Amino acid sequence: MILSMNCMSRGALLSSVAIFAMTAGAEAQDRDQSRDSVYQLGEIYVSGGGRSGSGSGGGVGGSTVTREQTWTFEKQTLDQAVNLVPGVNGTQSANGQRNETDIFVRGFGRWQVPLMIDGVRVYLPADNRLDFSRFLTGDIAEIQIQKGYASVLDGPGGMGGAINLVSIKPVKAFESELNAGTMFDNRGAFQGWNSYARVGSRQEKFYVQGSVNQLDQDFWSLSRGYSPYPAQGPYAGSLEDGGRRNGSDTRDWRINLKAGYTPNETDEYSINYIKQSGAKGAPLNVYNNPPSSQNSFWLWPKWDVENLSFLSNTQLGDASYVRTKLYYNTFYNLLSAYDDITYSSQSNNGRFNSYYDDSARGGSVEAGTELIPMNTLKTAFHYRQDFHAEWNHNRPTHPTMAMLEPRQNQAQTTWSIAGEDTFHVTPDFDLVAGISYDKYSINRAEEWDSGGGFIYEYPKGGSDALNWQTAAIWRYNETGQVHFSVSDRTRFPTIFELYSQRFGTAIPNPNLGPERATNYELGWKGQIASNVKGTAAIFYSDVRDLIQAVRVSPTQSQTQNINQGHFYGFEASFEAQLSAQFMIGGNYTFIERNVSDVSVPGFQPVGVPTQKAFLYATWRPIEPLAITPNLEVTSDRWSDVLVGTQGPNAPIRAAFPDLYIRTGAYTLANINVNYKFTENVEVAGGVRNLLDQNYELAWGLPQPGRTFYLKARARF
């Protein structure tokens, strides 16, 4: 079986992890890059660390991924980049039909960890099924990741942390950058290309910048170790024959425009416009022929996000400030379901074009003061309106039964008021306390009755929540810090969780309440020796009222707050400059998730490996040349087995009788070779999955085999 052949043994994994724990690496190179090129107005707040220089530089927990890391380790998309830091993993969504990636922060997924771009949340009110592969990293100065403790000042929803993509800001009177790269598979075939271009100017009292980032991939290829299942056996073979992965094409691009006014050294006012557009296929589960759902042939011609925002910072005297944020976001999505693998007709029952057309408008005001000695007080108010519209064009290619649904509208309003106080007990010791009150209400909830041919409206829903958090931070020397934090946060349900009838098998629950987690962390960072630095953290999360579908009759379920959970573990990172020519680093994470579930026998939380490690080394035999091999190692993780029990799929269910299965263990060897011709021009090449390992992150969804790349970068 492919699962057993390609998962490393548990004993071998534990041996590898023991070595990694001893040499466990840091969050990589060039941590001290200039802060001037980071758009600091777009950073989220790190309690105890301020905004300027937040990231890994101070405060409570969290990690930062820098631009140089994404370049060195060839991380072109957000889901790839987050794997560089401990406690976080990007993975394939267990529902392979959607071809989406998810990100887990210490066990919390996309519903509990908000995603922001320059501090403005990207939220899909229907179901918030963000696909993190659609977010490119070319124009990102840093990726802020708050783990467990995300400040209440940054708005509602940070139950398990927060992720923020902070863009670049120009630093010179004129500057430009051009990147270009190509990709090849393990047979030498050209897969696709990526590019990034930026031009900007910073003057005494203003700055302007524009950039475009593009990734265009025709396919990726499976490992040579993959082989399709034989025509004879417990099931009738696979629709995937190996080589080029069917349905693996993607097209993504993003433009980022920025203009700012800086009348003095402290004040800043900026207008930002970001538009990204994506299109993707959806590779089929390799175990199913026919697919477990006959309606499995899906494509996404459109996956588009747009963001217009105004951000400001105004200093009031020497001790106070006011920050404002106004934004307007849109999301447009088209999902097309086809009859068969030819993707040429949409005539069968249940085939459709499904349209989502969403928008959001809102803003926030944050104020802070240090008028009282030894004390810093901050308050914030957030307000947001989300609008969701959906409709289907059912059986669009059928000559007589095609039907276009009318537009159905849903809307919700969310607001939050928060305060945080930092008491500076001594110059080296801070106590932090924060509290917020969050509330949301459903303003509109339309649905189409296809049998009756009319639009009706569900009962309105809504809920509120009180959140609190506290932390103690001791900076025992110039480089060392210990902190302890407790954060009690919630997240509100999506429209899908409130109202989805799941094709007639579920009862809406407009009174569904929020999920809640209390996160505890004890953390340390510091200098172990003059050339060695590291971090470590122990964490525990008490999770309550998790949302789960509960069987309420033989044929129907309802989404309710029933589950309880305990997530716990530890993480560590390490970085050592052994000589002028040689550096090593990496990180290690151990996490357990236990969830009690009363409606699904044998339920297992999916997507998160118990153990994860990353190790790298950089060798500079001569000054312009840097050779950086690295290893990514994870244990297995639970995955759904998505297959029916009746009809043509019954033999597959016989071969995979359980609802959940362990998969996803791998050891990936990668290498990057970088050569600087001048200070401004460099080229790089490398190999990902050097050993061409065949592995799966979710059941039936094998990942890319060996991949080669070449790229160049010029900055002026």
Model confidence pTM above 0.85: yes
Measured between its terminal Cα atoms, the distance across the chain in Å is 53
Interatomic CA distance for residues 196 and 76, integer angstroms: 11
Interatomic CA distance for residues 502 and 293, integer angstroms: 14
Ranges assigned E (strand) in 450-530:
454-457, 462-474, 481-491, 506-507, 515-529
Angle at CA 387, nearest 5°, toward 94 and 336? Answer: 45
Select from 417, 360, 345 the least CA-distant residue to 120: 360
Give the DSSP letter of residue 98: G
- Phi/psi of residue 208, each to 5°? -140, 150
CA distances (Å), origin 292, targets 49, 234, 455, 505, 653: 50, 14, 32, 18, 10
- Give the pLDDT means over successive 10-residue stretches in the chain (716 positions): 38 37 37 71 82 50 93 97 96 84 96 96 94 96 95 96 96 96 96 97 97 97 85 60 93 98 96 97 82 79 97 95 97 95 93 96 96 92 97 96 96 97 94 97 93 91 95 93 96 93 83 96 94 96 90 83 92 96 97 84 89 98 97 94 64 71 93 97 98 93 96 96
Question: Which tokens in the block code for residue 650?
Answer: 């019954």
Select from 24, 81, 15 the least CA-distant residue to 570: 24
CB 498 within 8 A of CB 559: yes
pLDDT of amino acid 319: 92
- Chain centroid, CA 423 distance in Å: 33
User: Which uninterrupted H or E stretch holds 653?
Assistant: helix 650-655
Q: Where are the domains of the chain?
A: 2-715
Interatomic CA distance for residues 305 and 132, integer angstroms: 12
Question: Which tokens in the block code for residue 346?
Answer: 């949409």
Question: Which tokens in the block code for residue 546?
Answer: 């998790």
Q: Does domain 2-715 have CATH number 2.40.170.20?
A: yes
- CB atoms under 10 Å from CB of 425, counted, come to 13
CB 72 within 8 A of CB 291: no
pLDDT of amino acid 2: 36
